[in-house]
Amino acid sequence: MFFVKNDIKKLLSVMIPILVAQVSTAGITFINTTMAGHAGADDLAGVSVGAGLFYPILASIIGLLMAGTPMMAQLLGQKKKEDLPLIVRTGLMIGLFISAVFAAGYFLFVDNLMEYLALEPAVEHIARGYLLSMVGVVTFVTLIIPLRCLTDTAGSTSVSMKLFLIAPPVNAVLDYLFIYGHFGFPRLGGIGAGVATMITYGCLLALFLAVILTTKEFMGKNIFSSFKIRRADLKEYLVVGVPSGMSIFMEMSLFSLIIVFLARYGTDTLAAYQIADNFASLVYMLPVSCSMALTILIATAAGAGDISLARRYKKAGFITAMAGALMTVSFTLFFRHSIGMVYTDDAAVAAIAAQFLIYSAGWQLFDAISTPIQGILRGLKDTRVSFVLMVAAYWGGCFPMSILLDSVTDLGAASYWLGLDFGVGCSALLMVLRLFYVERVMDGRPVPVIDNILAFFKLKTAASGMPAYAAAFSGEDHSIRAVVEMNIKQAEKLIAFMTEMEEKLSVLIQNVKEAEVDIFTETRRVLPIRKALLTDLHLSILGHATRAYVP
């Protein structure tokens, strides 16, 4: 009990500054949306469309670059601090390459994109200008993230917390100047929100550079003394980071698609969904901050070869996450009606949101299991299998279940919330199984089911004197033949089920088209309902994206 108490204290000392930094970054999105909303409906709609297009991409990029955290933490555990500048330099090089690709993509495809969206001219102008300023944001953010990985691991998470706390007030002042055109600055409206964000992140990058170059323990001079990187570091960065970035993109694209299907249920339902989604995103900051802290602590312990300490941190992480979940779930259930009224004065919207918040409570409980495990596995550099499992849970579980419930039941919009609960529940189960497997492999212990299957095949192969694939289909191996035939039958059933689901999905898409609902027009009507509070968080790097470890 003594060790658990101390481990929880250690975890909280790392986690709380991360949480504060999360909230500070959320403040930038909150300020942008609020001030753009007061500039006019077109400005708010343009910023919303631009943010919706941009932030899933940015979140994926950040997820990739955050791979530097477990890499650096393990090096520190191995007492190889002198190698940290090489990892930071690798991250910076990848960031510069990504920002160049993003800039090229903007200038090559923005006209086609705007033509496809068919926005109103005023909204298109705002969205186009906002996205142009995001080219600068990508450049600055992709350079900030590797530096933050360094400060969080070689120093303390409180360093980045203090720097990120400066960002919201700076952004607010810049928004005031550029959105409304005060003190001689040009009045840019919604585009000004993008310009303010770009300058804010530029200032933040300058602060990170100043801290790193003036603090001896960060070895700033070594980082920028050469352009040399190691191929092994580049490969490891991509192997660890790409699955994280892809998992973010796949998850955010799912939530965007669900909004499309919900549009046919009307503006009130859309507004209620986004209210519940926004609140769930805020609450999600707790488990994701715990996950990020676990990545740092477990990677350091694993690098030092102290598996027992890593297990203690794992236990402390679960206790902390579950305690937080019990508090947030209780708060959500008891105050769900009041939560809805905070976002809107529309009683009908608030009532629907209160129903959705009940489903959100189940979502929070499953997240408290799944999210810390993602941080643990990331600390062990196990990201590829985790990515596959998350895709399977969301696109193989959540989406089909949502469509199925919407097709065969009268639950309406609640079908999609139940589908989300099912998907997150599947993710939690798969993450538990993956962690169980990884732990047994690390301990050199057999994994009962898998090892029994492998032993069975080896025994049959040795007895027949044939390769495994030949033995499996030989007439002498009736037991394996039976298993294969059974699997074929199950596959045929699955194909038939997927064909049926595809037909139902086509019908639903046709219904959406026949409803003639313009998502962007509806969004313009929805956003002003809650323009004074956290409008775009579900589209920002602090919303659902943080499930895959995004700061």
Contact call for residues 66 and 160 (beta carbons, < 8 A)? no
> What is the predicted pLDDT for the residue at 504?
59
Contact call for residues 29 and 193 (beta carbons, < 8 A)? no
> What is the predicted pLDDT for the residue at 241?
87
- Name the residue type at position 412: G
> What is the predicted pLDDT for the residue at 95?
93
Of 124, 116, 135, 154, give the one whose Cα is nearest residue 47. 124
Show the tokens assigned to 14. Answer: 């790392």
Alpha-carbon distance of 353 to 88, in angstroms, equals 44
> What is the predicted pLDDT for the residue at 104?
93
Instruction: Pick out the chain residues at pLDDT < 70.
Output: 1-3, 33, 37, 256, 445-551
> What is the predicted pLDDT for the residue at 96?
93
Residues 6+ apart with CB under 8 A from 322: 368, 369
Alpha helices in 444-517 (DSSP H): 448-464, 468-472, 478-515
> What is the predicted pLDDT for the residue at 144?
93
> What is the predicted pLDDT for the residue at 492?
62
Own/partner long-range contacts of 443-452 (Cβ < 8 Å, ≥24 apart): 443/307
> What is the predicted pLDDT for the residue at 204?
93
Q: How is the chain split into domains, by residue range? A: 2-444+517-548, 463-511
What is the DSSP secondary-structure string of 382-430? --HHHHHHHHHHIIIIIHHHHHHHHHHSS-TTHHHHHHHHHHHHHHHHH
pLDDT in tens, 265-276: 777 777 777 778
Show the tokens assigned to 288. Answer: 């994701």
Alpha-carbon distance of 370 to 244, in angstroms, equals 14
Of 309, 311, 316, give the one whose Cα is nearest residue 293. 316
pLDDT in tens, 126-184: 888 888 999 999 999 999 999 999 998 888 888 888 898 888 899 889 988 988 888 88
> What is the predicted pLDDT for the residue at 356?
87
Rg for the chain, CA atoms, rounded: 25
Q: What is the b/e burial string over 98-113, where b = at least 16 CB atoms within 10 angstroms of the residue's CB?
A: bbeebbeebeeeeeee
Contact call for residues 66 and 242 (beta carbons, < 8 A)? no
- Name the residue type at position 10: K
Instruction: Tell me, letter by letter, the H, E, C secondary structure of 153-213.
Output: HHHCHHHHHHHHHHHHHHHHHHHHHHHHCCCCCCCCCHHHHHHHHHHHHHHHHHHHHHHHH
> What is the predicted pLDDT for the residue at 518?
47
> What is the predicted pLDDT for the residue at 482?
55
pLDDT in tens, 110-142: 888 888 877 788 888 888 888 899 999 999 999
CA dihedral 496, 497, 503, 507 (to 10 degrees): 160
Provide the whole-model pTM.
0.76
